[in-house]
């Protein structure tokens, strides 16, 4: 497997967040080729049929940027044939509540029209009538930014009735989220959009068959839809040439924690984790040593410092060390971090954010927090350590949605990969249980 070094991409020009002043304004976006891709499609409907657009996006293999990493074009193909009088919907997931993830808000702020054009292309490809942009309620400023961008696009005739005079009709609405982590799960998001409590739905039926208000629906991440515009601009082959073959295209890396230059950086997929930390991020601050890395938001398994050499930010490489790409929100922790206290904070988050619908998650997340808390207090036993592992086994894969999995993965991997720190907190005296 190739190690995609920073030097290989020294001449890389940013595609999602290019260095163009005022790109958030529609006239600037238009001057740089904005809305030309949807115009190209609508001007040539016999060449760019909905099916062909789907195939081009599927060929590009845009892996979902919301965390799951599923091929976006393939996901679109699950939508059933269009039936007269039956509306179809696109839900755009901008909830972004995964700790360590903040890429979508940068798109809202710096290049919202790239995303809007991606929505138009997606709706054309799936013959969709309306799109809902679901943004977490805490993003108050970014909700306003997105609405302003939509208002600009409506005023220019890019959204609404008879778009560009080509008989293509669709609407886009902004929906303020309900402030819960669970709303980022696609079926919970639909429940929230419908005005209900955000309980995840059992599947099947899947959203493509029974989605919003019982109608065919596709859910895509904001970043994923922005990449759709890039694919149509460049072509699938050129897009696939960027980064790692198994997870191609540009990635917005959220680099945070104990690095000298934290921030959001755009580079191709497949970058060496060590390059991102030591070259892009400037290395570990205050002369400390690296201890741990979480590569894709706190739900994905943590890596020890000795596990990252030669590992790149793409699905296949990360799988070799038992973790995932997730949202590419990279958390860097130095030698001063107490992994027991860090894990306790993570378990507290998942306990707080469980919707309570499923018993293994409702009860299990609370148990995880309490058990890890015993290690923090220094009153845990070896039995508590083994109980944590058993509890993870009994939570994972046993609930309607994946929140229980997201809570179990960091626990299992942290207590195994940093076992010495947890055993150091175990009571030295015998405890009768």
Residue 431 has a pLDDT of 47
CA distances from 40 to 33, 47, 51, 90 (A): 11, 10, 15, 21
Confidence check: pLDDT of 1 > 80: no
At 11-37, the pLDDT tens digits run: 899 999 999 999 999 999 999 999 999
Please provide the average confidence, as pLDDT, over all residues in the chain: 94
Task: Name the helix (H) or strand (E) containing 71.
Answer: none
The mean pLDDT value for 332-339 works out to 98
* Sheet architecture: strand order including 217-221: 160-163, 168-176, 130-135, 89-94, 217-221
Confidence check: pLDDT of 358 > 80: yes
Of the listed ranges 9-13, 106-110, 181-185, 361-365, the least confidently predicted one is 9-13
Complete domains list, the chain, with CATH: 20-240 (3.40.50.11540), 250-332 (3.10.20.600), 339-423 (1.20.1440.230)
Residue 433 has a pLDDT of 47
Q: Virtual CA dihedral for 185, 176, 71, 20, nearest 10 degrees?
A: -140
Confidence check: pLDDT of 208 > 90: yes
Helix (H, G, I), strand (E, B), or coil: what is residue 106? helix
Cα–Cα dist 300/312, whole Å: 15
Percent above pLDDT 70 for the chain: 98
Residue 2 has a pLDDT of 61
Beta-carbon contacts of 276 under 8 Å, excluding residues fewer than 6 positions away, are 253, 255, 265, 267, 313, 330
At 107-156, the pLDDT tens digits run: 999 999 999 999 999 999 999 999 999 999 999 999 999 999 999 999 99
Cβ(322)–Cβ(302) below 8 Å: no
- Helix 140-155 / helix 112-126 crossing angle, nearest 10 deg: 60
Of the listed ranges 1-10, 124-133, 340-349, the least confidently predicted one is 1-10
Position 6 confidence tier, pLDDT thresholds 50, 70, 90: confident
Cα–Cα dist 337/374, whole Å: 18
Residue 10 has a pLDDT of 81
Percent above pLDDT 90 for the chain: 91
Sign of CA dihedral 407, 408, 409, 415: positive
Between the ranges 98-102, 178-182, 376-380, where is the mean pLDDT highest?
Answer: 376-380
At 223-251, the pLDDT tens digits run: 999 999 999 999 999 999 999 999 999 99
The mean pLDDT value for 93-103 works out to 91
CA gyration radius, the chain? 22
Number of H helices, E strands in the chain: 17, 10
The mean pLDDT value for 262-270 works out to 96
Sign of CA dihedral 8, 65, 315, 295: positive
At 41-83, the pLDDT tens digits run: 999 999 999 999 999 999 999 998 887 788 999 999 999 999 9
At 374-428, the pLDDT tens digits run: 999 999 999 999 999 999 999 999 999 999 999 999 999 999 999 999 999 997 6
């Amino acid at each position: 497997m190739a190690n995609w070094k920073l030097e290989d991409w020294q001449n890389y020009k940013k595609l999602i967040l290019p260095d163009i002043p005022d790109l958030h304004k529609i006239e600037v976006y238009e001057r740089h080729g904005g809305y030309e891709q949807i115009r190209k499609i609508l001007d040539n409907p016999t060449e760019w049929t909905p099916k062909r657009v789907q195939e081009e996006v599927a060929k590009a293999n845009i892996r979902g940027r919301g965390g799951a990493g599923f091929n976006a074009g393939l996901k679109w193909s699950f939508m059933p044939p269009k039936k007269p009088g039956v509306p179809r919907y696109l839900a755009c997931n901008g909830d972004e509540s995964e700790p360590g993830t903040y890429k979508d808000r940068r798109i809202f702020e710096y290049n919202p029209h790239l995303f809007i054009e991606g929505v138009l292309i997606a709706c054309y490809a799936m013959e969709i009538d309306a799109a809902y942009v679901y943004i977490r309620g805490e993003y108050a400023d970014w909700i306003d930014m997105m609405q302003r961008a939509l208002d600009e696009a409506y005023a220019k005739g890019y959204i609404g009735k008879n778009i560009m005079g080509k008989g293509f009709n669709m609407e886009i609405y902004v929906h303020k989220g309900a402030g819960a982590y669970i709303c980022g799960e696609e079926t919970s998001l639909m429940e929230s959009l419908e005005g209900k409590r955000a309980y995840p739905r059992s599947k099947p039926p899947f959203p493509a068959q029974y989605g919003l208000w019982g109608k065919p629906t596709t859910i895509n991440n904001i970043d994923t839809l922005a990449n759709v515009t890039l694919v149509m601009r460049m072509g699938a082959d050129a897009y696939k040439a960027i980064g790692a073959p198994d997870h191609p295209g540009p990635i917005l890396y959220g680099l945070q924690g104990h690095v000298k230059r934290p921030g959001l950086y755009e580079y191709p997929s497949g970058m060496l984790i060590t390059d991102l930390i030591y070259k892009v991020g400037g290395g570990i601050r205050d002369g400390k040593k690296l201890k741990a890395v979480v590569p894709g938001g706190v739900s994905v398994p943590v890596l020890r410092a000795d596990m990252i050499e030669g590992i790149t930010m793409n699905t296949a490489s990360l799988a070799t060390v038992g973790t995932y790409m997730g949202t590419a929100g990279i958390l860097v922790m130095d030698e001063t971090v107490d992994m027991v206290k860090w894990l306790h904070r993570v378990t507290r988050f998942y306990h707080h954010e469980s919707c309570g619908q499923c018993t293994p998650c409702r009860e299990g997340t609370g148990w995880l927090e309490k058990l890890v808390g015993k290690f923090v207090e220094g009153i845990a036993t070896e039995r508590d350590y083994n109980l944590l592992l058993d509890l993870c086994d009994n939570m994972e894969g046993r609930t309607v949605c994946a929140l229980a999995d997201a809570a179990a993965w960091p626990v299992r991997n942290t207590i195994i990969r940093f076992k010495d720190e947890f055993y150091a907190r175990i009571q030295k005296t015998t405890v009768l249980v």
